[in-house]
Amino acid sequence: MAAAAASGPPKIIDSHLHVWASPQQAAEKYPYFPGQEPTLPGHVEFLLECMGQAGVDGALIVQPINHKFDHSYVTRLLSPVMLENLECHFYHTPFGSVKSYSHSSMSFQDGYRAVRFNPYLWPSGQLMTNEVGKAMFAKAGELGAPVGFMCMKGLDLHLSEIEELCTEFPSTVVLLDHLGFCKPPKNQEEEQVFSKLLNLSRFPQVYVKLSALFRVSRCQYPYEDLSDIVTKVVSSYGANRIMWGSDFPYVVPECGYKEAKEAVWQLLQQAQLSSSETEWIMGRTVNQIIFNNPSSSS
Ligand SMILES: [Zn+2]
């Protein structure tokens, strides 16, 4: 199995998506966090259907807010029984390589491989650079677990915290979600923030997710207004520090799952990237830093 996987075509890995229980699963076993009931389907069977149609081989699952700090639904996907079942559905790649983020857990015994810092879950008035934040960031580095930053209200608000953490703990890998939530700049202020995103590439530990295009574009699918910023991000960071992601299931009513992958692909074509650079962004980058898959460096 491993040998076959290593010699196959380059893997397409979605670096950012969520799954949560169906209403029936929630009623029976995996309740939603009160007030966080989802408004759209996100169960894993639906994800697998979408991935199968889109030709996506693997994914990095990000713990959803709908279950808040209850990781049991996502953890279930990491258990051996479930993994085998999933692999039987359509996977050529061992589905066992799928790992997940956790908002809070700093122990990785369940197969969790990365951490997500949500600045809005810090106590009011406190920064991600407080004692707990620094301890978690340092520990993640020791464990080889990347830390994702979700700067939904603007990169600028959290930039100095990210810079401080990167400076103090250079061995912790950082993932910036959704192009740092930088929309194509329309004025000088936005230009400055976008320059700061590019400038963060001076920290070799920082990677960028080219994900959730619908959240950063000002246009409809296929989000062509992102062409210029994608070109600039790739030239600052290099393709081997960029990874595409869909933000399933939120992307489904926006443009569709398969189309999310195709939109990224088209932007990379427009940026005239080589096939090797495209491979990095479509799977190799995330494969290397999260899954540590030896085939990613072959
Ligand atoms: Zn998301």
* Residue extents of the structural domains in the chain: 13-293
Of residues 149, 153, 60, 72, the one with CA closest to residue 105? 72
pLDDT, position 79: 53
Ligand 1 geometric centre to CA of 4 (Å) = 32
pLDDT, position 292: 66
Ligand 1 geometric centre to CA of 235 (Å) = 25
pTM for this predicted structure: 0.87
Q: Is residue 25 scored above 80 in pLDDT?
A: yes
Ligand 1 geometric centre to CA of 132 (Å) = 24
Ligand 1 geometric centre to CA of 232 (Å) = 23
Ligand 1 geometric centre to CA of 83 (Å) = 22
- Helices and strands (DSSP H and E) totals, the chain: 14, 8
CA distance linking residue 2 with residue 6, whole number of Å = 6
Comparing 270 with 144, which gets the higher pLDDT? Answer: 270
Ligand 1 geometric centre to CA of 215 (Å) = 10
Handedness of CA 58, 62, 66, 70 (dihedral sign): positive
Ligand 1 geometric centre to CA of 17 (Å) = 6
CA distance linking residue 163 with residue 192, whole number of Å = 16
CA distance linking residue 59 with residue 67, whole number of Å = 19
pLDDT, position 84: 31
Yes or no: say if 249 and 41 are a contact pair by the CB < 8 Å rule. yes
CATH architecture designation of domain 13-293: Alpha-Beta Barrel (3.20)
Task: Return the axis-axis angle of helices 257-270 and 227-237, rounded to nearest 10°.
Answer: 70
pLDDT digits (tens, 9 = 90+) for 201-253: 999 999 999 999 999 999 999 999 999 999 999 999 999 999 999 999 999 99
Yes or no: say if 248 and 257 are a contact pair by the CB < 8 Å rule. yes
Q: Which two tokens stand for residue 1?
A: 């199995």
- Tell me if the bond preceding 249 is cis, omega within 30° of 0: yes
Yes or no: say if 166 and 203 are a contact pair by the CB < 8 Å rule. yes
